[in-house]
Structure 1
Amino acid sequence: MADIDAIVDDLDAERADLEQVVAGLDATLWRAPTPAQGLTIADQIAHLNWTDELVMRAIRNPEAFADEFEGVLAPAHAVESISAGSAIVNAGTVERSKVPQSQLLTMWRRSAAELSGILRALPSGTRIPWFAPRPLSAAAMAASRVMETWAHGQDVFDALALTRPPTGRLVHVVRLGVRSRDFAYQLRGLEPPQEEFRVELRAPDGGTWNWGPADAPGKVEGSALHFALIATQRLHRDDSDLVARGEGPEEWLRIAQAYAGPVGRGRERQRPLDAV
């Protein structure tokens, strides 16, 4: 069974790293564009605050949340539902980003701390309705918040030309990316492969993280950091150090997606062809 406290500890640490970067920004940098199309640094923080509050609404009153977003949460129409859910989140983000900088930072700190406390206290077996093919467990929701905080934090670090050392918290992002393999195919109207893939990634501490059968014919190898960046569409596949063995894994790496959102544009390729 997943250790919810350990996951929330990682969530708190991920937020703290991002907060340290954004807390002292001047007004110009606060509104600076990030690599995510159309989103400023302010938008990134607004998005995290807004979605924190949506998660708390879903936890506190799942029936009311499901009624409010009836049709959006319908698993029978997962692709359409995810697109509709994304539109709702984007609209909330835009509105929230208009809040003055100091006020928005205070709101984000408050929602972050409140959500962490709620997640830690949830009874075992709780399922949370969300913009995903199925309701999430408390552990899955906490891990998804780690992933989202890390991914949107990456946009902020990139916008400020800052390097962020990878940590063991990446395991949550990577695990979601691996487990979401079939979902990435389905979002694009493709049939997922019937066979499992082997995934072997270099962890930040020098160890190895493994998923899938050791004798699987299809295999992905490389750094956990690059896999996490690809699975959150923060790195072009051709700019990564990942090696795909077999046709299936190569196709997957070009569509991998760890989050329950519509198909995105991802990042443009940075390395010229003659540099490869």
Structure 2
Amino acid sequence: MRREVLRGAASARAAWTGELLDLREEHRAFAALLSCVGEADWERPSAAAGWTIRDQVAHLADTEEVAADTLLDGPRAFGRALEGFRTPEEFTAAGCRAGQDLVPMALIARWAQNADRTADLLAVQGPTARVAWGLGMPGRSFAAARLMEHWAHGLDVADALSRTVTETPRLRHIATLGLATLRYGFALARQRWPQGRTLRLELTGADGTRYHFGDEDSTDVVRGPLVQWCCTVTRRTPRPAVAGLEAEGELAELALVHARAYL
């Protein structure tokens, strides 16, 4: 029995190490994308309406600072950082404005420092420690949320630059997060959850890998490309060269409208 417990603990540690490596890889992918942003591109409109490329980077730099302080219960922890703002949108806009006076290299440096700090602190806290972000979530979900933010905003920047983003297996973390936060998305939309319905995802990566999330005996199923589900839950434009998603069942159809993996 003790050997089985030890093996289980070692497996859990290895899984968490892998998840943090994926987060850092997403950071590196974002840094590589920023290296392609020319001096004249920083004020270019991004794929998000009303946001420039500078705004995208400033937002991530600011929220990574808040993320790290939340893990430390510091002065800019999530609950404290939102004080003084009437809405989350006002808080987000202030974070974008914080990057207006920084030259691009300084803005990138601020983002990189804060992102590294968040990942380092997550490694110390562990996958099950509660993080006081929004309604609260375990460290594992928080790591997935930070990965999701970088992928989604990176997609906005890449689309603005007409660059292709290579799909990676890291998207599985976003897919899982999108399923886990589905009730949250319904609550925001004030959408009733169909009684007795459950959802399963049957998704396929660009390399043909199949991903299944949710119980096998679920009443409803969403099928299709992994990247399209990730675009759905982050409210990004579906990839035009990739097949769409198929919904089987009332809950599945509603999920394609109301799924939302971010606050």
User: Shorter-normalised TM-score: what interval?
Assistant: 0.7 to 0.9
Where do 1:84-123 residues align within 5 Å? 84-123=87-126
Distance in 2 between residues matched to 1:207 and 1:240, nearest whole Å: 15
Distance 1:57 1:214, change over 3 A: same
| Structure 1 residues 66 and 203, CA gap change in structure 2 (3 angstroms) | closer
CA-CA distance at 1:46 after TM superposition: 0.8
Query: Structure 1 residues 158 and 120, CA, compared in 2 at 3 Å: closer, same or farther?
Result: same
Residues 22, 61 of structure 1: alpha-carbon distance in 2 compared, 3 angstrom cutoff: same
Q: Which residue of 2 aligns with 1:197?
A: 199
Count matched residues: 249
Q: TM-score, normalised by structure 1?
A: 0.82
1:147 and 1:122 map into 2 onto residues whose CA distance is: 20
Residues of 2 paired with 1:108 and 1:69: CA distance?
A: 17
Distance 1:67 1:186, change over 3 A: closer
Question: Which string of whole-angstrom CA distances, capped at 9 and with x for unpartnered residues, describes residues 102-149 of structure 1?
Answer: 11111112112222111111156421211x2x2122211111100000
Aligned residue in 2 for 1:36? 48
Query: Quick one: structure 1 residues 136 and 63, their matched pair in 2 at CA, closer, same or farther if it must change by over 3 Å?
Result: farther
For 1:199, give the aligned amino acid. Answer: L
1:36 counterpart SS class: coil
For residues 169 and 106 of structure 2, what CA distance do their matches in structure 1 show? 32
TM-superposed CA distance for 1:204, in Å, is: 3.5
Hey, what does 2:214 align to over in structure 1? 212
Give the letter for the 2:115 counterpart. Answer: A
Deviations 1:24-81 (A, max 9, x none): 4222112111110111111111111100100111111269837625889xxxxxxxx9
SS at match of 1:11: helix
Q: State the partner residue of 1:78.
A: none
One-letter code aligned to 2:80: E
> C-alpha root-mean-square deviation of aligned residues, in Å?
2.6
Structure 1: gaps spanning 5 or more residues: 73-80, 261-276
User: How far, CA to CA, are the matches of 2:29 and 2:127 in structure 1?
Assistant: 29
Alignment of 1:153-192 (within 5 A): 153-192=154-193
1:58 paired to 2:70: yes
Closer, same or farther in 2 for the Cα pair 1:87/1:247, shift >3 Å? same
Distance 2:129 2:213 in 1: 26
Q: 1: distance between equivalents of 2:94 and 2:160?
A: 22
Cα separation, 2, equivalents of 1:112 and 1:70: 20
Q: If the length of structure 2 is used for normalisation, what is the TM-score?
A: 0.85
Contact 1:46/1:96 (8 A) holds in 2: yes
Give CA-to-partner distance per residue, 1:153-207, whole Å, 9 cap, x none: 0001100111112100001111111111111110011122332112100123312
